[in-house]
C-alpha cells in the first residue's frame, strides 16, 4: 500500500526530527466531501477511510479540534513554536496580589513596611491558648497570592514557631508563593560544630522554614554569610550598612577610625571605613567562655581620634563595652558604636548606659521595648530597605541594586 502524503508533502515520513516512514504520523484533513473541517492524525500507511472510521479498536485515526489544527505536530517547519521574547521575565507572581502578614515579634516594623508598600499587615490572627499553644489564622483570601510574612526570630522560641505556623497556613491556603521576611535570623551563631556533640542550630532552623513551605527568604546581616547555603530555597541577604553609614555620614565626624571588635568583624569594618573615608583598627580579644570576652590589644592608631565600633549584633554588650574602655584608655577622643541587631540581653542595657559612649546606634530588626531604651541609644529603621526588597521580589526585579555598593565588601 503506498504511503500517504501529509501536509508536508513527503511520502517517506515526517521531516521533523526523529520522524520516519515506519511510524511517522501526518496531520491530514479529511476527504473533500466533509469540507475539510475535521483534522485527524493518521499513521503512515493507514487506509483512507474518508474520515468515517471510528476512533475505537485498532484504528489509530485521531480526530482533534479545529482550534489545534495549526499546532506544530509533525511539520515543525510549517508551524514554528511560539516563544515569548527573550527579555521578558516570568511575571507569574507579579500578577498575583501581594499579601503582607506578620507575627508578634516585631509588629511596629511590619506596620512601617506596610505603610511604605501600601498594604496592611493586619491580615492574620495570632494568639495563644491557655496551655501555651500558638494558634494562627489568615483572615484574608490567600489563594494565588504572593505572600510575605514579616517575623524576626529572637528569643523566646515561640517567635520561630509563629513563623513556621504562618508559613504553613499560607501554604495550605494555596498561596502562589510564600516568602519569609526575617529581619533578624535567630540561632545564627550556632552555625558549626565548634565542640563535640553539639547541634548546628542554624541549619536546623533553616530546614524547618523550608519544610514548613517557604519558597524564599529575605533577611538582614546573617551572623555568618554561609548561612545562606543552609537553605535549599532562594535567599536574599540584605545589608544594613547603607542605613548605618548614611546616618554617620550625616554627622560629619572628623578624624574617624572604624574599629572592629574582633577579627570576625574586620571585613564589615573595612567596608565601612572605605565608605566613610576613615582608617581601620581591630580589637584583639579572647573569649574564655560564652558571653565573656577580654581585650588583649588594639591594633591601629586611635589616640586623639573619633572611634566608631561596628558589629552585626549586641547581645550582653560585654565585648562592646570592653572595647569602649580599651579605646578610651588608649587616648580615643570620642567613641561611637553601631550594630544591626539589638538583642540587649542580660546586663546589656546597664553596661551601655554606664559606658563612656557618645551614641549607641542600632536598627529596628528587633523591637527595642521602652524599658531597654536609654539616653544615648539611637534606633534607625530598616523598613524602607525591606519594603524595597519586597517590592523588587514581587515585581521580579533585581534586588542587587539595593546593596550593590556594599556587596564587594562582603566577599
pLDDT confidence band for 90 (50 / 70 / 90): low
Q: What is the enclosing helix (H) or strand (E) of 393? A: helix 383-394
- What is the b/e burial string over 142-164, where b = at least 16 CB atoms within 10 angstroms of the residue's CB? bebbbbbbbbbbbeeebbbbbbb
Mean pLDDT of 160-164: 97
Residue 384: per-residue pLDDT: 96
> Over 50: is that where the pLDDT of 160 sits?
yes
> Over 60: is that where the pLDDT of 8 sits?
no
> Over 90: is that where the pLDDT of 149 sits?
yes
Residue 268: per-residue pLDDT: 85
pLDDT confidence band for 408 (50 / 70 / 90): very low
pLDDT confidence band for 29 (50 / 70 / 90): very low
Which residues are known catalytic residues?
Answer: 285
Q: By mean pLDDT, which of 14-28, 84-98, 192-206, 322-336 is the weakest?
A: 14-28
pLDDT confidence band for 19 (50 / 70 / 90): very low
- The answer to whether 47 and 40 have CB atoms below 8 angstroms apart is no
Mean pLDDT of 22-42: 45
The H helix count followed by the E strand count for the chain is: 10, 17
Residue 110: per-residue pLDDT: 97
pTM for this one?
A: 0.74
Residue 96: per-residue pLDDT: 80
Specify which residues 295 forms β-bridges with. 285
Rounded Cα gap, residues 280 and 244, in angstroms = 17
Mean pLDDT of 282-306: 77
Residue 400: per-residue pLDDT: 84
Helix spans in 82-223 (H):
92-95, 107-117, 158-172, 201-212
Amino acid at each position: 500500500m503506498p504511503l500517504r502524503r501529509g501536509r508536508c508533502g513527503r511520502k517517506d515520513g515526517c521531516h521533523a526530527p526523529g520522524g520516519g516512514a515506519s511510524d511517522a504520523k501526518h496531520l491530514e484533513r479529511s476527504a473533500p466531501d466533509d469540507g475539510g473541517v475535521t483534522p485527524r492524525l493518521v499513521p503512515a500507511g493507514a487506509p483512507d477511510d474518508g474520515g468515517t472510521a471510528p476512533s475505537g479498536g485498532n484504528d489509530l485515526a485521531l480526530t482533534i479540534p479545529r482550534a489545534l489544527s495549526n499546532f506544530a505536530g509533525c511539520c515543525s517547519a510549517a508551524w514554528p513554536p511560539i516563544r515569548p521574547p527573550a527579555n521578558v521575565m516570568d511575571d507569574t507572581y507579579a500578577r498575583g496580589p501581594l499579601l503582607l502578614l506578620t507575627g508578634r515579634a516585631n509588629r511596629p516594623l511590619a506596620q512601617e513596611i506596610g505603610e511604605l508598600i501600601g498594604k496592611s499587615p493586619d491580615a492574620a490572627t495570632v494568639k495563644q491558648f491557655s496551655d501555651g499553644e500558638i494558634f494562627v489564622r489568615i483572615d484574608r483570601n490567600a489563594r494565588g497570592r504572593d505572600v510575605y510574612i514579616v517575623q524576626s526570630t529572637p528569643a523566646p522560641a515561640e517567635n520561630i514557631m509563629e513563623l513556621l505556623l504562618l508559613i504553613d497556613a499560607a501554604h495550605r491556603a494555596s498561596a502562589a508563593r510564600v516568602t519569609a521576611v526575617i529581619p533578624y535570623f535567630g540561632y545564627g551563631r550556632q552555625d558549626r560544630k565548634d565542640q563535640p556533640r553539639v547541634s548546628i542550630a542554624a541549619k536546623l532552623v533553616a530546614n524547618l522554614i523550608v519544610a514548613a513551605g517557604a519558597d524564599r527568604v529575605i533577611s538582614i546581616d546573617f551572623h555568618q554569610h554561609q548561612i545562606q547555603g543552609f537553605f535549599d530555597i532562594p535567599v536574599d541577604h540584605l545589608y544594613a550598612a547603607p542605613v548605618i553609614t548614611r546616618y554617620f555620614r550625616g554627622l560629619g565626624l572628623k578624624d574617624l577610625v572604624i574599629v572592629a571588635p574582633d577579627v570576625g568583624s574586620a571585613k564589615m569594618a573595612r567596608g565601612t571605613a572605605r565608605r566613610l573615608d576613615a582608617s581601620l583598627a581591630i580589637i584583639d580579644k579572647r573569649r574564655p567562655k560564652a558571653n565573656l570576652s577580654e581585650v588583649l590589644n588594639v591594633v591601629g592608631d586611635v589616640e586623639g581620634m573619633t572611634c566608631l565600633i561596628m558589629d552585626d549584633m549586641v547581645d550582653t554588650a560585654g565585648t562592646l563595652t570592653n572595647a569602649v574602655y580599651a579605646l578610651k584608655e588608649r587616648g580615643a577622643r570620642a567613641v561611637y558604636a553601631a550594630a544591626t541587631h539589638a538583642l540587649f540581653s542580660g546586663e546589656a542595657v546597664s553596661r551601655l548606659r554606664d559606658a563612656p559612649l557618645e551614641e549607641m546606634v542600632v536598627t529596628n530588626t528587633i523591637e527595642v521595648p521602652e524599658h531597654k531604651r536609654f539616653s544615648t541609644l539611637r534606633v534607625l529603621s530598616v523598613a524602607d530597605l525591606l519594603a524595597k526588597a519586597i517590592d523588587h521580589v514581587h515585581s521580579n526585579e533585581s534586588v542587587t541594586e539595593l546593596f550593590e555598593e556594599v556587596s564587594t565588601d562582603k566577599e
